Structure 1
């Protein structure tokens, strides 16, 4: 019996070592394939990776990506539509893409503080239009709440804005989050997740089709590096509590807020999030997209770009 137990222990140890080696190789390969394509901005002692498009002298637009993503999400969608008129700043959130992760980065406060630091360094004494997709919408709102001096308007794309009352958490985020089992589980992720997520991307875009080459263009593979996967899990595991603490502050928002909501969204409940915030913000505008799901910027980019231009022009009028 002792020999059997010793053999099992050795087998488990070898399996663990194998998983660690595989994850290290995966990380090296995926970072070689999708290297940082922006610059590093030091904010609160941690680097924030910022991809830029457009002229540095143009009015700023800051784009904040959602969960399981990185700043490349906007490089082939909204940025090309705006770069002739704006300085488009696309930032990796803490622990995602190539941004460092300060302490307590699972909180919306710290997430927003890192984004605010980017604006204060790259666009000082200017107000920016803030664009947030999904989880990034919650960060965009917190940025506007905590730093209204930096924000001329907010554009929300299928955002999560309110506590949804429990449930809906994914099993893999629950496992990846805890301090003991989480790091072990995250080492196994590169073994299976990349092939699984490729087949599941269509569900996020449903009822539209995912763009050809989306997995590569958005560098989705960066998510499955163990530290990034755990960062994403930590963000999601506390999101409901974070939103419950934030949602009562929305009446403080004095700038215009425009929300693009896909009626066929299966990732979040648009009636819950859009339906609640529209009663809390004075300068609120809801754009309903009847045949769109959770990725409106891929199929309604021109409409979103027009709204960004309108909010920026409004800020120019008020400043002159």
Structure 2
């Protein structure tokens, strides 16, 4: 029996705890096609080659990598992340010259301590003062957030850092958005946009690195998610409306121009804003998010991608997706994260926080309405003028690597960095590497802008 009843098969498979992607593939109802998809996916993975572009600032990249490789013994991932980004910051600030970098890289942490005590720190809007590797190693246990105070040249002068994360409710485009902000109000603004089924916490480990290179950071729970407003109408989730939310948020924060970083659905919204509002977006970074103008055409001409995207069709059904995604303590949503990522990408606390967000009234319905409004979207094929970085995990279970190449065609000044061993959730799996890439990109573009002025 080659054909399987569409809804019954999908519902049964999803209810049994199988991943959303597997259920979507089965919804294609063609067993031979599914077999070909599985075989092709293996071939794709084997053929994908790492194509990381040269760093705009190779010194920073090499030093951050050196710290990550040579000095991580005995440190937890959080402490390692802190230490690498602290040293990344001090180098980018020009605190060390080459001989000091070599000494610190060779393991002489006393040099770092000496420099931090004797060298005047360069003050810059949005940039916290330096911390030392040794001070991090002395910490009894790493916290999930970076320290909220910094040391000045006077060790007794403890000032509150502007980088403290603040939670607020911001009215924007007719909806109230829960937004996390950090950094000086006068610094250039970067807005980070999460995807399905996450919240602002998808980006929480990226706040400090961005502050360290001089940016003000804003991370909203997008409409329908977390503690943000959840309109009931499907039309309230049309792509233009979602883009208006972000532009209105930037305006509310006093920024006419801003940079965007987006993953998954957050990336799709970011693509649309960059094409529709070129005068407002200064820089654009995309993580595993197809360009909205390319997705449908690519899926129709690539049956493997069409099969991978079949779950989108299932989400169009009324009520049934809500019931299945909410069943057994949101087991299917949790599985959609943990079964398509590397082990330990999502810890128990983060999954628990996400479950709390999914439990908010109307949350699941609102999250699904993003998919239900896709048919009303009017994607733009206008070239994106802002400098653009696409970072793509080649082991994405839902999106083929070819979508990254298609997206690049819409960029007037774009670059593509493939992460061969990264999945769809690469920003959780490799936060040190991805934050270094993003910071490198933003620093280079910021310097280019200053030089052109």
TM-score bucket of the superposed structures, by smaller chain: 0.7 to 0.9
Q: What is the deviation of 1:257?
A: 1.2
Write out per-residue CA displacement over residues 244-293 of structure 1, whole angstroms, 9 at most, x where no aligned residue: x31523x2x2111110011111121221x212121222201001111111
Aligned mates of 2:275, 2:177 — CA distance in 1: 21
User: Which residue of structure 2 aligns with residue 19 of structure 1?
Assistant: none
User: Which residue of structure 1 aligns with residue 225 of structure 2?
Assistant: 96
2:173 is aligned with 1:44:
yes
Aligned mates of 2:349, 2:419 — CA distance in 1: 22
Contact 1:78/1:297, CA 8 A, preserved across alignment: no
2:435 is aligned with 1:301:
yes
Contact 2:325/2:331, CA 8 A, preserved across alignment: no
User: Which residue of structure 2 aligns with residue 21 of structure 1?
Assistant: none
**TM value normalised by structure 2:** 0.54
Aligned mates of 2:180, 2:323 — CA distance in 1: 28
Q: What is the deviation of 1:230?
A: 0.8
Aligned match for 1:265, one of 396, 400, 408: 396
SS at match of 1:131: strand
Contact 2:190/2:260, CA 8 A, preserved across alignment: yes
**TM value normalised by structure 1:** 0.75
Write out per-residue CA displacement over residues 59-86 of structure 1, whole angstroms, 9 at most, x where no aligned residue: 11100111111112111x2112112321
2:316 is aligned with 1:174:
yes
Cα RMSD for the two superposed structures: 2.6
User: Which residue of structure 1 aligns with residue 101 of structure 2?
Assistant: none
Change (3 A) 1:219 1:80: farther
2:448 is aligned with 1:314:
yes
Write out per-residue CA displacement over residues 24-57 of structure 1, whole angstroms, 9 at most, x where no aligned residue: xxxxxxxxxxxx9621111122211111122222
Aligned mates of 2:258, 2:288 — CA distance in 1: 20
Report the structure number with the largest CA radius of gyration.
2
Stretches of structure 1 that go unaligned for 5 or more consecutive residues are 1-35
Aligned mates of 1:79, 1:257 — CA distance in 2: 20
1:1-320 correspondence to structure 2 within 5 Å? 38-75=167-204, 77-84=205-212, 85-101=214-230, 104-125=235-256, 127-161=257-291, 162-163=295-296, 164-165=299-300, 166-167=306-307, 168-170=309-311, 173-175=315-317, 178=318, 181=319, 186=322, 189-206=325-342, 209-213=344-348, 215-216=350-351, 219-239=354-374, 242=377, 245-249=378-382, 251=383, 253-271=384-402, 273-298=403-428, 299=430, 300-318=434-452, 320=453
Stretches of structure 2 that go unaligned for 5 or more consecutive residues are 1-164, 301-305
Equivalenced residues, count: 270
Write out per-residue CA displacement over residues 154-208 of structure 1, whole angstroms, 9 at most, x where no aligned residue: 1001112222335524276233xx3xx46xx7467544243444344222324x6
Change (3 A) 1:197 1:95: closer
